[in-house]
Amino acid sequence: MIQDGCTRCGQRSNELPLHVLTIFHAQTERMCLDCVRPLLPVGFDLVAFAESLLVTAAPGESPSFDLLPDAQSCEQCGLTFGAFRATGLLGCAGCYRMFSAVIGQAMELLHGVGAPPQI
Amino acid sequence: MSLPVRDRGRSVLPIPVPRWLTETGTEADVVLSTRYRLARNLSAYPFPGRASEKDRKRVAAILMDAMSRTKGCWARQGALRVFEKERLTEATLLQLLEWRYASREWYRSAVMEQNAHRWLVIAPDNDVSLLVNEEDHLRMQAILPGLQVESVHWQLAELERALSEVVPFASSPDIGFLTASLGNAGTALRVSVLLHLPGLAALGKRSETLDAAWNVGCSVRGLYGEGTAGTGELFQISNAASWGVTPLQIITRVESAVHYLIAAERSARRSGFGSVQGKQSLMASVSEAIRQIFREDAIPRRLLPLVSVLRLAISEGILAGDLAKANQWIALAGVVADSTAIQRDNERYEAIRRTAALRQELRLLLDGKAGA
């Protein structure tokens, strides 16, 4: 999990997800949602943005959350974790079990921390 | 509006005009349509992006069979219109995109890939379409005219329930419904309302107003591409989260953001175009837009902002005409505003075809019952 607070305000609130944001293609900062919002253009798609978190960290770079080894693959469809990070797309229903260690965190980033499951 | 299309000799079914282009719903001055989309997958097969041709073919067969077995649960009885990508011309594919039966993702991959076993089914009511082998195995969507968030929910919920009794959809207790993209997982529901916000833009208040929608958990994007020039002031307001919320919570969230934006847009229009001076200024913009459309070198990507002005003028009573017709113009111009929608070698052809169709419509309007 992310341990550090927001680089702008130091906030470590459990209520707000912390996002790693690459601003203007140059600088990577860890920021809380409150600090990120004023920096983004209106019309910015938060879901697409959060999905992009999966692909901003290149192999070997500091990831936004605990990652699995890139070579780890799904037993059902063969998709590697590295391929998932590169495209942001899972290969099958089995990938959810295989990459469950990461998927819980990613879902929190995408949809909000502590969201209870609903069907 | 029906357009002459270039056909390569392959026979295709006629595509019915969707209701969002023939009728106006509630709040029609600002809201063009409400779309409700569900994503579902079969647990035994890889998602389409990872599936072999054999798997996709099998998935398509299972889903097409399921649709035929649940016909009694469709909102209106009648034949399903079934389109198999391999049998469609490029013109038909583009028409399906223009009328939003097909998504951009389905259209793009349909144009680029062979033997992908992509199918599109239009329900007898012309509101519901089902896409097979899109990013997920099945995407179901209903589009209704105007703001009809709850109606659109019930329209699709019954069909989804019936299909799920025939085909078990992939889900897990922790997540909900499983989709190729985590951004869709959970309820796998996206509610999108298409709004026309030229008043806010004219007043310079678009950004701050859209920010408010964002703050209540909605995302905002241009339907026909991003950036200020190409959007024609048309914006889609959708739920940002699809996990950890119920469908009814999603509906409430989107509806409240949309009601706020409608009120703000109407206020902006009163302020911008309510006075004699404001009306004169809008009339001048309409005249200029019509002049531009009749220029010889009309560029397809520039049509949308011009049509946007015409729709505003109709809504404000400056130009005679009805809003459903204006929505058809928006669809006609909008699909070519997105540079990724049209292949480069077709661009000139589409420019001529669409500009000509629009000119013909405008001639009828201006000659018959001119209000400008």
Contacts of B211 in chain A (CB under 8 A): 42
What is the end-to-end Cα distance of chain A in Å, rounded?
26
In A, minimum Cα distance to B212 occurs at: A42
When comparing pLDDT for A41 and B291, which is higher? B291
Choose the closest CB to A43 out of B135, B222, B245: B222
Contact indicator for A113, A17 with CB cutoff of 8 Å: yes
Is the pLDDT score of A34 beyond 70?
no
Of B370, B372, B198, B196, nearest to B283 by C-alpha is B372
The pLDDT value given to residue B205: 86
In A, minimum Cα distance to B209 occurs at: A42
Q: What are phi and psi of B169, to 5 degrees?
A: -90, 150
- What's B177's DSSP letter? E
Contact A104 B174 (CB under 8 A): yes
Contacts of B180 in chain A (CB under 8 A): 89-91
Q: Which residues of A touch B (CB under 8 A)?
A: 37, 42-48, 50-51, 54, 76-77, 79, 87-93, 96-97, 100, 103-104, 106-107, 110-112, 114-119
- Cα separation of B317 and B124, whole Å? 34
Q: Which residues contact B359 (CB under 8 A, 6 or more apart)?
A: B293, B294
Q: Which residues of B touch A (CB under 8 A)?
A: 41, 43, 45-47, 49-50, 135, 170-183, 185-187, 206-208, 210-211, 214, 219-222, 226, 235, 240-246
The pLDDT value given to residue B5: 42
In B, minimum Cα distance to A49 occurs at: B183
- Cα separation of B107 and B60, whole Å? 17
- What's A8's DSSP letter? T
- Cα separation of B293 and B303, whole Å? 7
pLDDT, one tens digit per residue, over B331-344 is: 988 877 765 656 66
Q: What is the ipTM of this complex?
A: 0.83
Quickly count: other Cβ atoms within 10 Å of residue B269's Cβ: 23
For the whole model, what pTM was predicted? 0.84
- Cα separation of B239 and B247, whole Å? 10
The pLDDT value given to residue A56: 45
Q: Report helix, strand or coil for A17.
A: coil
- Cα separation of B335 and A55, whole Å? 29
Residue B357 C-alpha, separation from nearest chain A C-alpha, in angstroms: 31
User: What are the structure tokens assigned to A33, written together?
Assistant: 């949602």
Quickly count: other Cβ atoms within 10 Å of residue A81's Cβ: 20
Res. B142 pLDDT band, cuts 50 70 90:
very high
pLDDT, one tens digit per residue, over B71-120 is: 777 767 777 888 888 788 888 888 999 999 998 888 887 777 777 899 99
User: What are the structure tokens assigned to B285, written together?
Assistant: 């913009």
The pLDDT value given to residue A79: 95
With vertex at residue B300, the alpha carbon angle to CA B296 and CA B303, rounded to the nearest 5 degrees, is 85
Quickly count: other Cβ atoms within 10 Å of residue B345's Cβ: 7
